[in-house]
Amino acid sequence: MIVQMHGVEKRYGTTRALVGADLAVPDGAIMGIIGPNGAGKTTSMLIMSTLLARDAGMVSVAGYDPATQASSVRRILGYMPDFFGVYEGLDANEYLDFFASIQGVRPEARPAVVRSLLDLVGLSHKSTADVNTLSRGMKQRLSLARALVHDPQLLVLDEPASGLDPRARFELRELIAELARMGKTVVISSHILSELEDISTHLAVVDHGKVMAQGSLGEIRSALTNQVRITVRTRDELLDAAEAILRSDAGVSEFRSERGTVRFVFDGDDEASSRLLRRLIDGDVPVFEWRVETAGLEELFLKITDGVA
Amino acid sequence: MMNPLASRELRTRFRGGRASWFVSVWLLVAAGIGYLTYLLARETASSSFGFQFGGGGQLAASMMGQMMFETLAFILLTGVLFVVPAIASLTIVGERERLTLQLLQVSQLGPVRIVFGKLASSLAYMLLLIVAVGPVLAVPLFIGGVRLRDVFAILGMIVAVAFTVGSIAIWSSARAKSTRGAVGAAYLWVFVLVGMTGLTSIGELYLLRGDTTEFFPANGREVYSLLPNPYLAMVSAAEEPLSLNDFQNPNFFGTSTPFAAVNELLVRRQIGDPYRAFEGGFIEADVAFPEPFNGQVVQPDTRIPQRRGPVWVRALLIYTIISALALWRSSMLVAAPASGSRKFRLPRKEIADAAA
């Protein structure tokens, strides 16, 4: 685990931002932290990025404590906040060169580093453009390049896609996937669930300062529920027969049928749903389509955070 | 190697026309003041010595050179006290408002390098302005009455004051939540350094006067509250006392330059008798005027303590302490994660519930 948080607490005045938060980020993972605004996502990220002191609990980043070994953590961590941070009068080249210099990159190595990063984020053609004139999507990509200037092992990205148009979001997603392929561990937060669903290998659901669930999407799903939605298409005149077979299974509920299509919720694992399909076929009900829909991130999120107050 | 923060700030500050315009205006103003001072000094020298300047009066030229230099130094120090807080107080709070402070904090730059980078970039600009007026300051050197050593001493003290005021302004900037607050706080501290020391000294003088009928103490005791005062520090840095040539007119309100007024008010009164030398201190009238003038003979005052160190040394010590404290506090405020935050712990039961 490259990042470990255990029982972390943080309070701003009378507001508890984190209440005993536990988080574990495996090496090489893309860990998506999801949660509504004010859930504690940014606070968690600030603490692991050495920018905020925790009030209690344990935090380790690559074996270092961000509170007491901040310099060691900063060497292996690239942080991208949810804002751009503009310096007036600098072009993209100079902007990255400046951040490379404050990250301790040797002067003779800087031009090559800057060139390759601009290449990576697709901004080579904007290298001499004033950073103020770049579009929001470009600024976000430049921010990502800024976080990468010292070739960190771990990237912490706070709401990187916030305010981007669909194309810019897609480009950023591709870029993050590329970074994961390069072996970087990425911790990324968002309150837009679909964004993280597509890109994350692991997820942590944060709400009211607590990590409610974490793991791979499959692990979270199976930990919460075995329920799937199944749609079966057959002959219209055989709907009653199909209904009789399906209803006889204890795992079937919320049954609905219309014009050759049956929809229901099935509570059982893959083996059980396979047996159900076999019973339909054995009952002489031709199955033209058998579609299994697992619970989406949104559904899981609502289930996890339901009743938390 | 130059601090990367200072290097970037200087590069962007001097890019574009704004900086060159400001430097040009600064130079024009300095040259204009220099010329006006020259005219004033020439007039004063002519009337004081009863002959027209140009007639070979070495003393008149000397007085003229001194007057010009004193006025320019006074204006330069005043400029520093106005410009440095304005520049330095915007540095760290500016990063905070631009949302770039976190990016610096999470870098390999430690808080000390961030603070010193900001200070260096602010002072570098001021140093440029000071160096730029060098030619104007050189004019009194050619006229006479001013030693090169004193020019460097005065400029050195101005730089020391700039460093101190810059450090205070950086601290104000690190503490502030808005640029307005930072600028206001910086100027408030400058007022404390200049104005409050002056006002406090009046109370101190009152306490020191003893049973004499004069307001100013006649026993040569120092006015301690004035020691941090930048004008006093600058005056005391000169080996050859400034504005002590006005023997015919010892009342400071009657002196002809603002520097002379400060000198009279802040320095000469400390020794009680302006006609007496102060050994071990900063006033040695016999250095300035080795020969008796107008029939008055300068005699050392034996009542004055002999082993008192020069005022400028003590002023520098005070400035060093103020700067060190301000920069240390600034570093603490810029450090991340913020140190010294109050710890809190939830009751164990709540932690257990949260974990459950």
Token code pair at residue A116: 């390759």
Token code pair at residue B248: 């015919």
Residues in A closer than 8 angstroms to B341, CB to CB, are 53, 55
Chain-chain contact of B337 with A51 (C-beta, under 8 angstroms)? yes
Helices (H), B52-147: 58-88, 91-97, 101-105, 111-132, 134-143
3-state helix vs strand vs coil in chain A, percent to 5: 40, 30, 35
| Mean local confidence (pLDDT), A80-86 | 85
d(CA A273, CA A295): 15
Q: Which of B5, B8, B345 should be substituted to probe chain A, the one whose Cβ sees the most A Cβ atoms within 10 Å?
A: B8
Asked if A86 and A133 count as a contact pair (C-beta separation under 8 A), the reply is no
Minimum Cα–Cα distance from A209: chain B residue = B354
- Residue-by-residue DSSP string for A22-90: EEEE-TT-EEEEE--TTSSHHHHHHHHTTSS--SEEEEEETTB-TTT-HHHHHHHEEEE-SS----TT-
Could you tell me whether strands A30-34 and A56-61 are parallel, antiparallel, or unpaired per DSSP bridges?
A: unpaired
Q: Which helix (H) or strand (E) holds A17?
A: strand A15-25
Chain-chain contact of A87 with B8 (C-beta, under 8 angstroms)? yes
| Mean local confidence (pLDDT), B79-93 | 92
Q: Which of B12, B13, B105, B107 should be substituted to probe chain A, the one whose Cβ sees the most A Cβ atoms within 10 Å?
A: B107
Distances (CA, A) of A138 to A118, A126, A168, A187, B205: 11, 9, 8, 21, 66
Chain-chain contact of B341 with A67 (C-beta, under 8 angstroms)? no
Across A29-33, A162-166, B90-94, least confident range: A162-166
Residue A199 has a pLDDT of 84
Asked if B226 and B315 count as a contact pair (C-beta separation under 8 A), the reply is no
- Residue-by-residue DSSP string for B309-329: PPHHHHHHHHHHHHHHHHHHH
pLDDT digits (tens, 9 = 90+) for A110-135: 999 999 999 888 888 988 899 989 88
Token code pair at residue A229: 């939605």
At residue A214, does pLDDT exceed 90?
no
Number of H helices, E strands in chain B: 15, 2
Could you tell me whether strands B276-277 and B299-300 are parallel, antiparallel, or unpaired per DSSP bridges?
A: parallel
Model pTM score: 0.77
| Mean local confidence (pLDDT), A27-55 | 89
d(CA B33, CA A46): 53
SS3 A204: strand
> Is B349 an 8 Å CB contact of chain A?
no
Half-sphere exposure of A270 (CA within 13 A, CB side): 3
Residue B300 has a pLDDT of 43
Of the candidates A134, A122, A112, A136, the one whose C-alpha atom is nearest the C-alpha of residue A175 is: A122
Name residue B87's amino acid. Answer: I
Chain-chain contact of A102 with B4 (C-beta, under 8 angstroms)? yes
Nearest chain A Cα distance for residue B263, angstroms: 44
Residues in B closer than 8 angstroms to A19, CB to CB, are 346, 350, 354
Asked if B241 and B69 count as a contact pair (C-beta separation under 8 A), the reply is no
CATH 3.30.70.980 boundaries in chain A:
223-305
Signed CA dihedral, B136, B137, B141, B146: sign only: positive
Report the interhelical angle of A239-247 vs A270-282 (nearest 10°): 140
* Superfamily of domain A3-215 in the CATH hierarchy: P-loop containing nucleotide triphosphate hydrolases (3.40.50.300)
Task: Please list, in sequence order, all residues whose beta carbon lies within 8 angstroms of the beta carbon of residue B314, skipping any fewer than 6 positions away.
Answer: B227
Residues in B closer than 8 angstroms to A210, CB to CB, are 354
Chain-chain contact of A9 with B8 (C-beta, under 8 angstroms)? no
pLDDT digits (tens, 9 = 90+) for B30-59: 889 888 888 887 777 777 665 554 545 666
Name residue B221's amino acid. Answer: R
Signed CA dihedral, A131, A136, A142, A147: sign only: positive
Q: Which residues of B55-69 are buried (b: 16+ CB within 10 A; e: fewer)?
A: eebeebbbbbbbbbb
Nearest chain A Cα distance for residue B344, angstroms: 6
Minimum Cα–Cα distance from B94: chain A residue = A87
Could you tell me whether strands A30-34 and A185-190 are parallel, antiparallel, or unpaired per DSSP bridges?
A: parallel
| Mean local confidence (pLDDT), B222-233 | 81
Chain-chain contact of B341 with A53 (C-beta, under 8 angstroms)? yes
Across A140-154, B31-45, B187-201, least confident range: B31-45
Task: Select the residue of A55, A85, A99 nearest B344 (Cβ to Cβ).
Answer: A55
CATH 3.40.50.300 boundaries in chain A:
3-215
Q: Which helix (H) or strand (E) holds A267?
A: strand A261-267
At residue B262, does pLDDT exceed 60?
no
Residues in B closer than 8 angstroms to A85, CB to CB, are 98-100, 102-103
| Mean local confidence (pLDDT), A52-79 | 90
Chain-chain contact of A150 with B12 (C-beta, under 8 angstroms)? no
Nearest chain B Cα distance for residue A173, angstroms: 22
Within 10 angstroms of residue A98's Cβ, the number of other Cβ atoms is 24
Minimum Cα–Cα distance from B104: chain A residue = A102
Signed CA dihedral, A71, A75, A76, A82: sign only: positive
At residue B281, does pLDDT exceed 90?
no
Across A219-233, B130-144, B290-304, least confident range: B290-304
Asked if B304 and B279 count as a contact pair (C-beta separation under 8 A), the reply is yes
Nearest chain B Cα distance for residue A138, angstroms: 18
Task: Determine the distance from the C-alpha atom of residue A294 to the mean position of all C-alpha atoms in its chain, rounded to a whole number.
Answer: 18
Residue B213 has a pLDDT of 55
Nearest chain B Cα distance for residue A97, angstroms: 10
Residue B284 has a pLDDT of 37
Name residue A110's amino acid. Answer: R
- DSSP letter, residue B343: P
> Is B355 an 8 Å CB contact of chain A?
yes
Residue B117 has a pLDDT of 92
- Cα angle A255, A259, A265; round to 5: 20
Higher pLDDT, residue B262 or A177 = A177
Higher pLDDT, residue B50 or B320 = B320
Task: Select the residue of B4, B98, B103 nearest A101 (Cβ to Cβ).
Answer: B4
Chain-chain contact of A99 with B103 (C-beta, under 8 angstroms)? yes
Nearest chain B Cα distance for residue A42, angstroms: 13
Nearest chain A Cα distance for residue B273, angstroms: 57
> Is B12 an 8 Å CB contact of chain A?
yes
Task: Give the number of A-B residue pairs with CB atoms closer than 8 Å.
Answer: 99
The winner for highest mean pLDDT among A204-208, B15-19, B38-42, B253-257 is: A204-208
> Is B110 an 8 Å CB contact of chain A?
yes
Residues in A closer than 8 angstroms to B8, CB to CB, are 87, 90, 94, 98
At residue B182, does pLDDT exceed 90?
yes
Residue B173 has a pLDDT of 95
d(CA B242, CA B252): 13
Minimum Cα–Cα distance from A88: chain B residue = B12
pLDDT digits (tens, 9 = 90+) for A150-204: 999 999 999 888 777 788 888 888 888 888 888 899 999 987 777 777 788 898 8
d(CA A93, CA B63): 56
Task: Select the residue of B8, B103, B108 nearest A104 (Cβ to Cβ).
Answer: B108
Q: Which of B103, B113, B353 should be substituted to probe chain A, the one whose Cβ sees the most A Cβ atoms within 10 Å?
A: B103
Half-sphere exposure of B139 (CA within 13 A, CB side): 23
Name residue A72's amino acid. Answer: S
Residues in A closer than 8 angstroms to B108, CB to CB, are 71, 74-75, 102-104, 150
Q: Which fold has domain A223-305?
A: Alpha-Beta Plaits (3.30.70)
SS3 A265: strand
pLDDT above 70: percentage of residues in chain B? 65
- Residue-by-residue DSSP string for B236-289: HH-SS-TT---TT--SGGG-SSHHHHHIIIIIGGGGS-TTEE-TTSS--HHHH-
Within 10 angstroms of residue B72's Cβ, the number of other Cβ atoms is 22
Task: Please list, in sequence order, all residues whose beta carbon lies within 8 angstroms of the beta carbon of residue A193, skipping any fewer than 6 positions away.
Answer: A34, A296, A297, A298, A301
Across A24-33, A255-264, B154-163, least confident range: A255-264
Residues in A closer than 8 angstroms to B109, CB to CB, are 102
Minimum Cα–Cα distance from B10: chain A residue = A89
Nearest chain B Cα distance for residue A114, angstroms: 16
Minimum Cα–Cα distance from B351: chain A residue = A20
Return mean pLDDT, chain B. Answer: 73
| Mean local confidence (pLDDT), A53-78 | 90
